[in-house]
Amino acid sequence: MLGVIAATWAVVMALGPILQMRQIVRRGSSAGLSIGYLLVLIVGFALWIAYGAARHDLPLVVPNATALLVMGITIVVALRYRPSRPLLASVLAAFPLLLELLGLAVSAAAGKGPPAVIPGFAIASCASSPSSSAS
């Protein structure tokens, strides 16, 4: 039951970026929004979806799939209202950070190092016991 409640609230949280999109459209600019940060979140959502799918854990997959979709739309809206920076420049600026985070996540999942920890976020190690919760 707790998983259903947590997954339901996670879906509500996943819809949170809609508020950011509303602000972007109202201001007519996404100048203060970091596209790199949003791309980092996209990678995290994709990893959690893969992990949840591997565990057949629907309460983990559904909210992260919702968040991935909403965040993807948020990125499209943010890029549409980007003042002058071209799309390619925005993506390339975030690419090194994405590769580093993805490398940390893969190393942690393979059990080759400790789980990567970012303030406020944790990438769970797949080496943890199957009985431990990952949410």
Domains in the chain, ordered, with CATH? 2-26+33-122 (1.20.1280)
DSSP-assigned beta bridge partners for residue 121: 118
In angstroms, rounded to a whole number, what is the distance separating the alpha carbons of residues 24 and 42? 19
Tens digits of per-residue pLDDT, 79-104?
888 876 565 666 666 666 666 666 65
DSSP-assigned beta bridge partners for residue 88: none
* Residue pointed to by tokens 């002058």: 84
Helix, strand, or coil here: 72?
helix
> What is the rounded (10 degree) CA torsion for 65, 99, 110, 107?
-130
In angstroms, rounded to a whole number, what is the distance separating the alpha carbons of residues 37 and 67? 14
What pTM did the predictor assign? 0.61
24 pLDDT exceeds 50? yes
